[in-house]
Amino acid sequence: MLSVFSSPGHYVQGRNATEQLGAELKRLGLDGPVQIVAGGSAQRLLAEVWERSLKDAKIAYSVHSSGGECTRAEIAAIIAAVQDSGCTAVLGAGGGKVLDAARAVADDLDLPMISCPTTASSDAPCSALSVIYTAAGEVDAYQLVRRNPALVLVDTSVIVQAPPRLLAAGMGDALATWFEARTCTKAHVRNMRGGASTRSATALAELCYHTLLADGPQALAAVRERAVTPALERIVEANTLLSGLGFESSGLAAAHAIHNGLTAAPQTHPFLHGEKVAFGVLTQLVLEGAPSAEITTVLDFCTEVGLPTTLAALGLPDPAPTTLSAIAIRATAPGETIHNEPFDVDADITLDALRAADALGRRHTA
Active site residues: 173, 256, 259, 273
Within 8 A by CB and 6+ apart from 201, the residues are 5, 181, 191, 245, 246, 249, 250
Omega before residue 33 within 30° of 0, cis? yes
Distance of CA 274 to the CA centre of its chain: 7
Q: Tell which residue, 30, 38, 40, 39, has the closest CA to residue 10.
A: 30
Residue 31, number of CB atoms within 10 A of its CB: 14
- Note whether 212 and 301 are within 8 A (CB): yes
Cα 56 to Cα 38, 52, 151, 156, 313: the distances in Å are 21, 6, 19, 22, 48
DSSP lists the bridge partners of residue 117 as: 94
State the amino acid at position 118 in one-letter form. Answer: T
Within 8 A by CB and 6+ apart from 84, the residues are none
d(CA 198, CA 249): 7
The DSSP secondary-structure symbol of 332 reads: T
| H-state helical runs in the chain | 21-27, 40-56, 72-85, 96-108, 156-159, 164-187, 199-224, 230-237, 243-250, 254-262, 273-288, 292-305, 321-331, 347-365
d(CA 47, CA 118): 13
Q: Tell which residue, 74, 53, 78, has the closest CA to residue 63.
A: 78
- Note whether 118 and 93 are within 8 A (CB): yes
Task: Report helix, strand or coil for 134.
Answer: coil
- Note whether 92 and 98 are within 8 A (CB): yes
